[in-house]
Amino acid sequence: MFQVYLLPVVTFLIFQVTFIGTYIFAVLEGHVVPTVPYISDAATYSPESCVFGQLINIGSVLLGITIYVRYRQVLQLYEHHPELDQAVLRHNRLALWCGLISCLGISFVGNFQETNVRIVHFIGAFCCFGCGTLYFWMQALISYIIFPMSGTRLYAHIRLGMSVFCTILFILLAVTGVMSHILFKGQNPRKWYPSDGGWYFHVISSISEWIMATIFSFYILSFTDEFRSVSVSHPQIALTSHSTTI
Model confidence over 30-50: pLDDT tens digits? 888 888 888 888 888 888 888
Region 193-222: mean pLDDT is 92
Beta carbons within 8 Å of 135's beta carbon, 6+ residues apart = 67, 95, 98, 99, 102
Beta carbons within 8 Å of 223's beta carbon, 6+ residues apart = 8, 66, 70
In one letter, which amino acid is 13?
A: L
Going by C-alpha positions, the residue among 68, 220, 64, 223 that lies closest to residue 150 is 223
In one letter, which amino acid is 188?
A: N
Model confidence over 168-177: pLDDT tens digits? 999 999 999 8
Give the count of beta carbons closer than 10 Å to the beta carbon of residue 163. 21
Give the whole-angstrom CA distance, residue 162 versus residue 180.
26
Beta bridge partners, 2, equal 232
Contact status, residue 149 vs residue 81, Cβ threshold 8 Å: yes
Q: Phi/psi at 232 (nearest 5 deg)?
A: -125, 125
Confidence bin at 242 (pLDDT 50/70/90): low
Give the whole-angstrom CA distance, residue 192 versus residue 177.
13
* DSSP code for 189: T
Confidence bin at 3 (pLDDT 50/70/90): confident
User: Which of 21-25, 37-41, 209-213 bottoms out in mean pLDDT, i.e. has the lowest?
Assistant: 37-41
